Amino acid sequence: DAKTTQPNSMESNEEEPVHLPCNHSTISGTDYIHWYRQLPSQGPEYVIHGLTSNVNNRMASLAIAEDRKSSTLILHRATLRDAAVYYCILRDLTQGGSEKLVFGKGTKLTVNP
Amino acid sequence: DVKVTQSSRYLVKRTGEKVFLECVQDMDHENMFWYRQDPGLGLRLIYFSYDVKMKEKGDIPEGYSVSREKKERFSLILESASTNQTSMYLCASSLAAARSSYEQYFGPGTRLTVT
């Protein structure tokens, strides 16, 4: 599996945008970029995914670099409820066993009031 | 909403006991997974199942077995619990890849302590 690199931790202030980076320099052409987050004392939850184009949903936006070697998860207005560990994961859905998620260490986001 | 439930939030067992962790999902998902999560090691896949009675080993299957007799239920079994199996156990489910399995849905977790 191609690897991802994320900062261990980031801080943000409430109501401000947050940009969470992820590097994946060995990404292959068929790897999708997925983001999950894990709130304290809960299981992980899906946030967003994309392949080449930027994506938006009700939770966040995903900006993917043109060469796909990096991506950024954008929370447009951070709230205290967004404090969590955010995981960037690559998945090749064309490969057998692609249903598996390989979690790295993620980025722990702290949101200050 | 997809719901994945786990039989217990907290469990305390003694070394050598046989332990069953149960997971049920209500969305007719083909795939089910068991992970464990430990500080500094993140989430690691123990076993997964892509159909009833089908199972595949994940990254750390030693000391564990699984059972999937019905589509909605996936059990993790610790045949003889040991202290190094003290951990948070997370169950997840997803649609099969052919049905666009972009999301895995996780349960709330079971914190198992083996004394």
pLDDT tens-digit series, residues A51-69: 899 999 999 999 999 999 9
| A103/B56 CB distance under 8 A | no
Q: Tell which of A36, A86, A94, A100 to mutate to test the B interface (max B CBs under 10 Å).
A: A100
pLDDT at B96 (0 to 100): 75
Length of chain A: 113
Q: Give me the percent of chain B exceeding a pLDDT of 70.
A: 93
Q: With a cut of 90, say whether residue B111 has pLDDT above it.
A: yes
- pLDDT tens per residue, range B43-65: 999 999 988 988 999 989 999 99
Q: Are B92 and A36 in contact (CB under 8 A)?
A: no
Average pLDDT over residues B61-70: 96
Q: For residues A77-96, give the mean pLDDT.
A: 87
Among the partner-chain residues B90, B104, B107, the one whose CB lies closest to the CB of A46 is B104
Whole-angstrom Cα Rg for chain A: 13
CA distances for B69 relative to B83, B93, B104, angstroms: 28, 15, 21
Q: With CB atoms and an 8 Å threshold, state whether B92 touches A43.
A: yes
B12-32 residue pLDDT tens? 999 999 999 999 999 899 899
Query: Nearest-CA neighbor of A33 among A4, A13, A67, A11?
Result: A4
Tell me the mean pLDDT in the region B6-15.
95
Residue A51: DSSP 8-state: S
Percent of chain B with pLDDT over 90: 74
Q: Do B4 and A43 touch (CB under 8 A)?
A: yes
- d(C-alpha B23, C-alpha B45), whole Å: 15
Res. A2: pLDDT tops 80: no
The amino acid at residue A26 is T
pLDDT range class, residue B107, cuts 50, 70, 90: very high
- List the beta strands (DSSP E) in chain A: 9-13, 18-23, 31-38, 45-50, 55-56, 61-64, 70-75, 84-92, 107-112
What pLDDT score was predicted for residue A103?
Answer: 86
A99, B96: Cβ pair inside 8 Å? yes
Q: Which two tokens stand for residue A26?
A: 């060995």
Predicted local distance difference test score (pLDDT) of residue B103:
84
CB atoms within 10 A of CB B56: 14
| pLDDT for residue A102 is more than 90 | no
pLDDT at A104: 86
